[in-house]
Amino acid sequence: MKILNQYNLMLVAGLFFFATSVFSVSAQVSRDQIEKIQRALQIIDFAYIDETDQEQLVEHAIRGMLKELDPHSVYLSADELRRANEPLQGSFDGIGIQFQIISDTIVVISPIPGGPSEKVGILAGDKIVVIDGESSTGSQVNNQMVQEKLRGRRGSQVDVGIFRRGASDILDFTITRDRIPIHSVDAAFMATPEIGYIKINRFSRTTMREFREAVDQLKNKGMQDLILDLNNNSGGFLDVAIDLTDQFLDRDQLIVYTEGHASPRQEFNSTSRGSFKQGKLVVLINEGSASASEILSGAIQDWDRGLLVGRRTFGKGLVQRPFELPDGSAIRLTTARYHTPTGRSIQKPYDEGTDKYFNDLSDRLKNGELVSMANISFPDSLKYFTKNNQRVVYGGGGIMPDFFVPVDTTRISTFYSRVLRRGILNTFCIAYTNENRLVFNERYFDAGQFVKHFDVDDNLLQRFFEYADEQGVNSPQIGADESEIYLRNQIKGLIARNLFDFGAYIQVSVQMDDSYNKALEILRDNTFSHLSIKYN
């Protein structure tokens, strides 16, 4: 009989011994369970029909154990851990491009300003067709393949072949990889002469610096009130969520508290520091806003500091703590629940299993919750009252906004859906921008100028329709498609992105966003005074 790999046995045993020492598990029970696992692994190794990968078996065993606990306790291999941490740490090593895969081809949407690709002359619209001498087109092209080929150690080099419109031959470039920043603030601009807008996509190690810089810039432009967009922000670091919430609350106000079986209650309060203690505040949330986003939203609502606009948040009120394992992998273990200042637990139920838990969002759509507030019901047992004004709020599964905005299901026509899914809209906008880049650069000095003065007229729209026809999608007549107003907005937004950055795209696209427009309406009328919401 072969002896099971000693390292794997030590790894499994170490997990249980670690639990024994930290959580005071009975030593006798722990030894019994370790022996049971060891015996099971030995039996599999000895008697199973095929040869087994012992390291993989151990990983599957750990993943299986964690899956039985809750939906957010997970095992991450060393590589998975590195990739998961990159967005939160705020950087990675690579060549510095934003790209999309269109028709099995890597298309550069834009090189990151100051990054390695821009330095050697890579342009928006370039197609990467060769990487290190091998073809990079075809069915094998996916996001994972692109990352594996183009990311790498800082200082290392990669050779790429570029197909560029107007060039007769493939252009060869050698790019030296470097540290590439990942921004958590997607956009910051003045929505009106008095109202600023900031969109945050995650709570990372760079978020506070980016947020303070954005607030300072907007205040210098006259910002008095703020729209903070947390739509589809899935969370991040707990301490960053606390620091960001602290920017809005008065001193010594409870932001959040955490509590678990082995984690005594810990409270986190606001300080006197903060960049936006005064001024009206509206926070945009939706079903994709989770975890850290819900901490901030819950505190703002509970203290009557601002108003929430949108739809009920995801409902993740569990705190994960990382525990490193000897081989560089880690367990992210749920150790506590977090509660808003009024005591609300925002965690939605997960007692019906992981699949049911993660299907909750599709269930909300089927049940009509995303289109009508009348389809949402909260029992009186989950009723709470805000700290200052005693307004009714609810716990038990996500943060419910103060103003509900339904999903707009009318804007997606068949034509609009097809040109989006097939990448036709994006490809057209890249080509059109590149053809007219010099003219655009002379006419529009910054994104604000472009957003204010550029319109997608009938001539440009007709040109797009003709392009779609060439790609095999029959186009409607101008004025005949119910999605035309959104199509014009998307064309303008994608041109803005190709000219400037993703923030310019957001500045255009939010003009058609019902939650954004509702926020503007609230900030312009006397809603804050009517509801006694504190802002000065």
* Catalytically annotated residues: 291, 302, 316
Question: CA 185 to CA 213: how far, in whole Å?
Answer: 10
Report the C-alpha gap between 525 and 213 in whole angstroms. Answer: 28
Torsions phi, psi for 318 (to 5 deg)? -115, 140
- Within 10 Å of residue 461's Cβ, how many Cβ atoms? 18
Regarding beta strands 225-229 and 318-324, do their DSSP bridges make them parallel or antiparallel, or are they unpaired?
A: unpaired
CB 413 within 8 A of CB 481: yes
DSSP 454: -
Helix/strand/coil for 185: strand
Strand 307-310 vs strand 403-404: parallel, antiparallel, or unpaired? parallel
Neighbours of 275 (CB within 10 A): 16
Q: Which two tokens stand for residue 343?
A: 């005591």
Cβ pair 173, 97 in contact under 8 A: no
Q: Are 335 and 260 in contact (CB under 8 A)?
A: yes
Buried b or exposed e, range 411-430, using 16+ CB within 10 angstroms: eebebbebbeebbbbbbbbb
The C-alpha atoms of residue 243 and residue 241 are separated, in whole angstroms, by 6
Task: Give the pair of three-digit tokens for residue 463.
Answer: 């040109």
**Cα separations (Å) of 324 from 18, 66, 89, 305, 327?**
11, 15, 17, 39, 8
Question: Per-residue DSSP letters for 376-425?
Answer: ----GGGEEE-TTT--EEE-SSSPPPSEE-----SS--HHHHHHHHTTHH
Q: Are strands 178-181 and 171-176 parallel, antiparallel or unpaired?
A: unpaired
Map tokens 């009714």 to a residue: 392
Closest to 303 measured CA to CA, from 266, 351, 252, 228: 252
Can you give 205-274 as a three-state secondary structure string?
CCHHHHHHHHHHHHHHCCCCEEEEECCCCCCECHHHHHHHHHCCCCCCCEEEEEEECCEEEEEEECCCCC
